[in-house]
Amino acid sequence: MNGPRFSRLPPWRLVSLTLALCGAASAQTAPSLSLDDALARLEAAPSVTAARLSVQTAQTAQTGLNAARTALGLTISVNGNAAYSVPVTAADGTATPGSTGGAAGVNISLGLLPWASNQSGLKTAERGLALAQARLTDAQNSARLNVAQQYFAAVLATQDVDIAARTLALRQRQFTVAQMQQATGNATAGNVLSAQAGVQSAQGTGLQAAASLEAAQRGLEAALGSAVGRVTFSTQPPDTVTLPDVSALVAQARATRSEVIQAQNTLGAAQETSATQQREATLPDLTASVRYGPGGSGGLTTALNLQQGTVSAGYSLPLGSSAGAGSNRLSASVTGSYVVYSPNQKAQLSAAGASVTQAQLSLNVAQQNVELDVRTRYSTLQTGLIAVQTRETGVQVAGLALQTAQTRLQAGTGTADDVSAAELDLAQAERDLLAARITAQTSLLQLQNAAGGPQ
């Protein structure tokens, strides 16, 4: 029997060998992907695509805002009319000649007073632009956080795969030793079965670690909206994280979070509605006009509407047989009305005031909620930093244990497997430290997002 030696290996040995070969080949050929490289691909991410639509909305709002600022409700229109009457002969023979008439003119309207409708539109455009920009920032921050989380999950899974491969190699050696000891009568069948169970457990851990790595890669691809392929993840989380100023973060969140801006917009709209209702109740619907021109028709006319806050001007030129009739003169007029008693108007005023109170309460609640969110995530970051310190101590303990195992091996009182086990303990401690640093870095990003983005 000179067949391949692999055919005599048990199935678990074939699986472990295949995994080891594939892992080695992948490590040698896979290109490196840094976190900055991953973030640079965010343009294709679905969440950023949605954010780009928000940008377009913001740009549209900006265009409307600029137009409102420039024109302030300016409206220019032209008008005209024409008429013709045919000649008429009466029964008594009196003839009335035909005549032509008409006028052509131009009208200009401009929002002048602070409560003019165009001013209200300007404020609405400003609020819409501010909210669009805040939501765009939220989307960008959320996308960056998602990419960082998936990337660091892949970093941690890569570490798990390495530890799993080293653990499997140690368990295989221990199983071989147990078989040899059983052959010489120094181990029981139970010892061999226990060692074999250790090998099988290490195999399961290795497969689970490989699955976690693949899931992290797929999650990163989903976050980026593009394929990543087989790569190595070179960026490590920072060794230290500095606690930011929580008071500054709270102030930033209470001013810039989209929930707060939306509540401010609701309050602003409610205040404008209330002001409009109050103005209609206190100001008369008054229109004052001044005209200069011929006594019949035509000439220059200006008017001011008090409630609407608009001023208008127009010029009309008589045409036809009516042109030039009469001398120019100046005339002024005032028309208006005032509501003395209206239960419906009183009810509207009350409802508008209640809406302002409710909107103010909603704004207070929104600010309290974002402050609570910031302070909660700040506490989470503090806990994470304590965990990092604990894991750093654990690495030091594992390092001392490895030194002890190496010393015992040199003195002849320990085995190479003892050293390998101590090395694995150190690798596991370093892995736990890596996980703690990743958690701390992620908590920092979440805290920054809760405050409305990095300062």
- 152, two tokens: 């660091």
d(CA 171, CA 199): 5
d(CA 281, CA 409): 96
Sign of CA dihedral 27, 31, 35, 39: negative
Q: What percent of the chain has pLDDT over 70?
A: 82
- Evaluate if residue 14 carries a pLDDT over 70: no
- 399, two tokens: 């390092």
Nearest by Cα to 322 from 299, 292, 290, 302: 299
Q: Predicted confidence band at 67 (pLDDT cuts at 50, 70, 90)?
A: low
Of the segments 47-56, 155-164, 283-292, which one has the largest average pLDDT value? 155-164
* Residue 439 or 8, more confident: 439
* Residue 287 or 158, more confident: 158
375-393 pLDDT tens trace: 999 999 999 999 999 999 9
Which residue reads 């619907």 in tokens? 285
Burial of 143-179, coded b for 16+ CB within 10 Å and e otherwise, reads: bbbbbbbbbbbbbbbbbbbebbbbbbebbbebbebbe
- Evaluate if residue 12 carries a pLDDT over 50: no
Partner residues linked to 158 by β-bridges: none
Q: pTM for the complete prediction?
A: 0.76
| pLDDT at res. 55 | 65
| pLDDT at res. 296 | 61
**Mean pLDDT, rounded, of the chain:** 83
Q: State whether residue 108 is helix, strand or coil.
A: strand
Q: Predicted confidence band at 320 (pLDDT cuts at 50, 70, 90)?
A: low
d(CA 225, CA 49): 10
Instruction: Find the distance separating the first CA and the last CA of the chain, reported in whole Å.
Output: 72
Q: State whether residue 80 is helix, strand or coil.
A: strand
Which residue reads 């103010």 in tokens? 360
Other C-beta atoms lying within 10 Å of the C-beta of residue 22: 11
Phi, psi angles (nearest 5°) of residue 298:
85, 180
Q: What percent of the chain has pLDDT over 90?
A: 45
Exposure of 241 in the CB half-sphere (CA atoms within 13 A): 28
Please count the residues of the chain. 455
3-state secondary structure 200-234: HHHHHHHHHHHHHHHHHHHHHHHHHCCCCCCCEEC
Residue 265, CA distances (Å) to 80, 128, 131, 360, 435 in order: 43, 8, 8, 11, 42
Compute the average pLDDT of residues 118-135.
78
d(CA 348, CA 169): 80
Nearest by Cα to 210 from 169, 157, 156: 157
353-378 pLDDT tens trace: 899 999 999 999 999 999 999 999 99
- Measure the CA dihedral 13/19/25/29, to 10°: -170
